[in-house]
């Protein structure tokens, strides 16, 4: 399931995030890549332990906790601190799959990467190339979103960032472990939740059918959740 979360941050908020990143010290992105990924990775990243990365990452996590569409799609249990990368002309990240297990650099907690996320911080007009290409069950998806928008997709997917040929592509990327491991079950729960919200908007949340469907949704959560 590939889901776009629009306008996680508005234009003024994105400008503030970018301003904080402009003065940051960028490092070789291969420092955080595994042996296989190092062969196909060419970009720069912010030190995850830097004050800038930690401050901006906390802003992102706080906002996502207030974003109903994200919560409905991801059902997050644990989220790794957001990281930040930058691609300029000639830089790319070839086809790869994300590590199944990652470690929180601050807590040492292990996390199963169920979902990958990219929050775009550059508008498409600012750069050429740099599309995120994701291979999923429905074919190859090409993603290049406006600044402030985010994509959520299964971490099991093969994916790549094609070379940037002009300008700079700046984004935040991170992973989470969902309360529901199965992609298929998460998709069913997401579809049901969105249907309930749409129905409640038409007939009211107190409608009997809406209440019953909400009960079914929560009972499915109880059955499928891993805590």
CATH fold of 3-178, please?
A: Jelly Rolls (2.60.120)
**What is the secondary structure of 181-222 as a DSSP string?**
--HHHHHHHHHHHHHHHHHHHHH-TTSHHHHHHHHHHHHHHH
Say whether pLDDT at 204 is over 90.
Answer: yes
Domain ranges of the chain: 3-178, 183-224
CB-side neighbour CA atoms (13 Å) of 36: 6
191-218 mean pLDDT: 97
State yes or no: pLDDT of 33 exceeds 80.
Answer: no
The better pLDDT of the pair 22, 170 is held by 170
- Is residue 214 over pLDDT 70? yes
Considering only the top CATH level, what class is 183-224?
few secondary structures
């Amino acid at each position: 399931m590939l889901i776009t979360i629009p306008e996680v941050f508005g234009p003024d908020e994105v400008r503030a995030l970018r301003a904080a990143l402009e003065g940051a010290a960028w490092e070789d992105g291969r420092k955080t890549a595994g042996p296989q990924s190092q062969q196909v990775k060419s970009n720069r990243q912010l030190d995850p332990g830097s004050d800038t990365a930690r401050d901006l990452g906390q802003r992102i996590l706080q906002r996502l906790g207030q974003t109903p569409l994200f919560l409905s799609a991801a059902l997050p249990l644990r989220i790794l601190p957001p990281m930040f990368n930058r691609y300029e002309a000639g830089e790319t990240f070839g086809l790869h799959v994300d590590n199944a297990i990652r470690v929180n650099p601050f807590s040492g907690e292990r996390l199963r990467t169920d979902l990958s996320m990219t929050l775009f911080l550059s508008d498409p007009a600012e750069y050429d190339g740099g599309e995120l290409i994701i291979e999923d069950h429905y074919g190859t998806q090409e993603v290049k979103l406006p600044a402030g928008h985010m994509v959520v997709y299964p971490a099991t997917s093969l994916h790549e960032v094609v070379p940037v040929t002009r300008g700079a592509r700046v984004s935040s990327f991170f992973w989470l472990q969902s309360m529901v491991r199965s992609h298929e079950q998460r998709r069913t729960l997401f579809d049901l939740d969105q249907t309930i919200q749409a129905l409640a908007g038409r007939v009211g949340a107190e409608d009997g059918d809406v209440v019953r469907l909400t009960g079914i949704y929560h009972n499915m959560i109880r059955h499928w959740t891993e805590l």
